[in-house]
């Protein structure tokens, strides 16, 4: 039984779907497509797993409840193969598999995506996007394109060629992601300067401001060069016309797992094959995700919005969104995830849930959350930090049915550390009731990350590192640091290291430029009073094979 529109909405096939345990969409898809095509209201950029598992499903819930009459239009601006290999062959349908901590599984067919467009200015789909942006009906343009998608500089702090090209050539055929987005907004400006909300739902602090800064940079540059009509920049900066709400999103959606595919195929579905694109995007006709989910959005929508509160999404003011985001990203979830990713990779784990069975790693997560995180937490009131943290530690991370890996979470760690830990370090520095010198687990994580960058696991074997935009520059500092250096920076003899090759004696000098980099840690760790502490712990981590486990146990005691 193939997943496509003909089979999914065929009364003859309904019994087969029922036997497979798949809940069918309770909607008239033809009418939904017709209405959305004629009067689009919501476009989403970034057609990845969290979009499908959360936003597309939430949209369908509204339609099924009779609270909304439009679908959602997916636009992909980075990996176009995703649409060719997954969306098009299955008529933009997918199966959402919710993996609950008690072992039960929900399987739901989602049919709310009415179009899937390539946001490529050289493709015919871009003309359709221009048309959509001209429509009075368009209310929301949302994004899950990762924090890197908003950056106008590369890792060397230089302007990439595509962005420079767009600065110089304007709206006609932009090559960069943000250049294309700004060109579409200009289309709306030139057709009545109609209002619109641009909502970043990416997992980064003050995401609305990052989106606004990127879009605003193009508008300013184009207006300065005379490539657009005067007033475009004012339009971008008028919150009554264009808003950039902040948001906080939280839902774990790992890469499609073979066990989930097997379960679906045993139920009679065919074609549930995972694909990997040439840009290394992994996707499938199904999405596996956890049950827990949170989305908090600043309620600033100048042209109205779908009633997403009916699907459990929280709308509030900017200050509350900021508190909720800090609670999650800086204290109660993301720091724990990163710590488990670093030490899980070093200790040979391939599932987060298995790490939570390890006494040391579970204790690391608990102490990070309760002892060093919660004292600095900002309470958003709409969500209890204590209850949220308890759910993370006791239900979400230990979920044995959620196939999430430390290797996935370790991706782009250099981009995550300044928010996930740096903000807490700043709180300890700034607040009179906290003492930064009392921190020992956050420095342990920092030292663990440096140990991870060596690309050698705790057994002394080669370990593949996850992608990171700063990897090459970090590697230049770490490539001469080897296992077998004493914890005081002096080289021991081979009898102390089991014959492992000794390292140069200056590991402290080699790691110092990294620890001084406030772009990585949010602060200069030496100025914060933590640099020498991280050095000392790192020295313990590299004495010998097995030192990671020993050092972890020492600092958890």
Q: What is the pLDDT of residue 510?
A: 94
Q: What is the pLDDT of residue 495?
A: 45
- The DSSP code for 270 is B
Q: For 242-251, what is the mean pLDDT?
A: 97
Q: Could you identify the residue written with the tokens 């488990």?
A: 340
Q: Which of helix, strand or coil describes residue 97?
A: strand
How far does CA 382 lie from the centroid of its chain?
A: 22
Convert the pLDDT of each residue in 126-162 to its tens digit. 999 999 999 999 999 999 999 889 999 887 789 999 9
Nearest to 217 by CA among 143, 152, 158: 152
DSSP H or E run through 109: strand 105-110
Q: What is the pLDDT of residue 11?
A: 87
- The DSSP code for 392 is I
For the residues of 24-90, what is the DSSP string, one character each? Answer: PP-S-HHHHHHHHHHS--EEEE--SHHIIIIIIHHHHHHHHTTS----EEEEESS-THHIIIIIGGG
522: confidence class by pLDDT, cuts 50, 70, 90: very high
Convert the pLDDT of each residue in 13-22 to its tens digit. 999 999 999 9
484: confidence class by pLDDT, cuts 50, 70, 90: confident
Q: What is the pLDDT of residue 506?
A: 81
How far, in Å, CA of 534 to CA of 541, rounded? Answer: 10
Nearest to 194 by CA among 209, 184, 208: 184
Nearest to 344 by CA among 367, 330, 360, 331: 360
Q: Which of 88-97, 230-239, 486-495, 525-534 is predicted with the least confidence, judged by mean pLDDT? A: 486-495
pLDDT over 80 at 492, yes or no: no
pLDDT over 80 at 489, yes or no: no
Convert the pLDDT of each residue in 228-243 to its tens digit. 999 999 999 999 999 9
Q: For 334-347, what is the mean pLDDT?
A: 98
How far, in Å, CA of 340 to CA of 552, rounded? Answer: 12
- pLDDT above 90 as % of the chain: 90
Residue count (the chain):
557
68: confidence class by pLDDT, cuts 50, 70, 90: very high
For the chain, the average pLDDT equals: 94
Which value, to the nearest 10 degrees, does the dihedral of the CA atoms of residues 318, 214, 41, 320 take? -10
Convert the pLDDT of each residue in 367-382 to its tens digit. 999 999 999 998 999 9
- For the entire predicted model, the pTM comes to 0.86
Q: For 221-233, what is the mean pLDDT?
A: 98
Q: What residues pair up with 475 in beta bridges, in sequence order?
A: none
pLDDT over 50 at 290, yes or no: yes
Convert the pLDDT of each residue in 184-218 to its tens digit. 999 999 999 999 999 999 988 899 999 999 999 99
485: confidence class by pLDDT, cuts 50, 70, 90: low
For the residues of 194-230, what is the DSSP string, one character each? Answer: --EEEEE-SSSTTHHHHHHHHHHHHHHHHHHTTSS-T
Q: For 323-337, what is the mean pLDDT?
A: 94
How far, in Å, CA of 520 to CA of 515, rounded? Answer: 8
Q: For 50-72, what is the mean pLDDT?
A: 98
How far, in Å, CA of 113 to CA of 87, rounded? Answer: 10
For 368-391, what is the HEC assignment?
HHHHHHHHHCCCCCCCCHHHHHHH
Convert the pLDDT of each residue in 384-400 to its tens digit. 999 999 999 999 999 99
Q: Which of 129-138, 182-191, 488-497, 539-548 is predicted with the least confidence, judged by mean pLDDT? A: 488-497
Higher pLDDT, 486 or 462: 462
Higher pLDDT, 1 or 156: 1
pLDDT over 90 at 499, yes or no: no
pLDDT over 70 at 503, yes or no: no
**Token code pair at residue 440:** 């020992």
Burial 77-93 (b: 16+ CB within 10 A, else e): bbbbbbbebbbebbbbb
Handedness of CA 490, 491, 492, 498 (dihedral sign): positive
DSSP H or E run through 429: helix 422-430
Compute φ and ψ for 343, nearest 5 degrees.
-75, -25
How far, in Å, CA of 202 to CA of 200, rounded? Answer: 6
Strand locations in 291-410 (E): 294-298, 314-316
Instruction: Tell me the HSE value of 407 on the side-chain side, using a 13 A CA sphere.
Output: 12
């Amino acid at each position: 039984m193939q997943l496509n529109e003909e089979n999914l909405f065929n009364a003859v096939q309904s019994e087969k779907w029922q036997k497979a345990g798949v809940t069918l969409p309770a909607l008239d898809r033809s009418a939904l497509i017709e209405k959305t095509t004629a009067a689009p209201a919501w476009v989403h950029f970034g057609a990845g797993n969290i979009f499908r598992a959360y936003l597309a499903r939430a949209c369908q819930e509204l339609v099924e409840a009779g609270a909304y009459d439009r679908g959602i239009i997916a636009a992909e601006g980075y990996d176009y193969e995703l649409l060719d290999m997954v969306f098009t062959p299955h008529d933009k349908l997918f199966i959402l598999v919710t993996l609950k901590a008690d072992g039960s599984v929900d399987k739901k067919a989602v049919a709310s995506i009415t179009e899937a467009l390539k946001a490529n200015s050289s493709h015919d789909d871009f003309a359709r996007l221009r048309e959509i942006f001209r429509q009075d009906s368009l209310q929301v343009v949302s994004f899950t394109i990762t924090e890197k998608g908003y950056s106008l500089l590369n890792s060397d702090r230089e302007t990439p060629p595509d962005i420079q090209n767009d600065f110089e050539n304007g709206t006609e055929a932009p090559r960069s992601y943000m250049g294309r987005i700004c060109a579409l907004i200009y289309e709306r400006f030139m057709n009545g300067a109609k209002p619109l909300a641009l909502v970043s739902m990416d997992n980064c602090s003050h995401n609305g401001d990052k989106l606004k800064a990127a879009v605003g940079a193009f508008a300013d540059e184009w207006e300065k060069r005379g490539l657009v009509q005067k007033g475009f920049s004012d339009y971008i900066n008028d919150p009554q016309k264009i808003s950039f709400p902040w948001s906080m999103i939280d839902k774990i959606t790992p890469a499609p797992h073979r066990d989930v595919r097997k379960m679906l195929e045993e139920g009679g579905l065919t074609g549930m094959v995972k694909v990997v694109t040439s840009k290394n995007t992994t996707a499938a006709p199904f999405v596996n995700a956890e049950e827990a989910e949170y989305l908090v959005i600043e309620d600033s929508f100048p042209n109205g919005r779908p009633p997403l509160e009916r699907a459990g999404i929280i709308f509030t003011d900017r200050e509350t969104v900021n508190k909720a985001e800090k609670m999650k990203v800086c204290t109660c979830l993301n720091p724990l995830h990163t710590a488990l990713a670093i030490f899980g990779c070093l200790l040979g784990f391939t599932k987060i849930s298995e790490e939570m069975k390890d006494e040391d790693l579970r204790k690391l997560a608990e102490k990070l959350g309760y002892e060093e995180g919660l004292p600095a937490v900002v309470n958003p009131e709409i969500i209890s930090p204590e209850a949220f943290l308890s759910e993370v530690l006791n239900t979400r991370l230990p979920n044995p049915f959620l196939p999430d890996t430390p290797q996935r979470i370790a991706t782009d760690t250099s981009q995550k550390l300044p928010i996930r830990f740096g903000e807490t370090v700043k709180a300890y520095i700034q607040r009179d009731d906290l003492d930064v010198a009392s921190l020992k687990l956050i420095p342990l994580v920092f030292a663990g990350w440096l140990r991870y960058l060596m690309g050698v696991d705790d057994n002394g074997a080669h370990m593949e590192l996850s992608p990171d935009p700063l990897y090459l520059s970090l590697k230049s500092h770490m490539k001469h640091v080897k296992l077998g250096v004493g914890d005081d920076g002096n080289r021991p003899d081979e009898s102390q290291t089991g014959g492992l090759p000794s390292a140069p004696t200056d590991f402290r000098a080699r790691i110092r430029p990294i620890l001084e980099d406030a772009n990585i840690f949010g602060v200069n760790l030496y100025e914060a009073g933590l640099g020498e502490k991280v050095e000392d712990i790192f020295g313990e981590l590299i004495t010998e094979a097995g030192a990671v486990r020993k050092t972890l146990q020492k600092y958890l005691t």
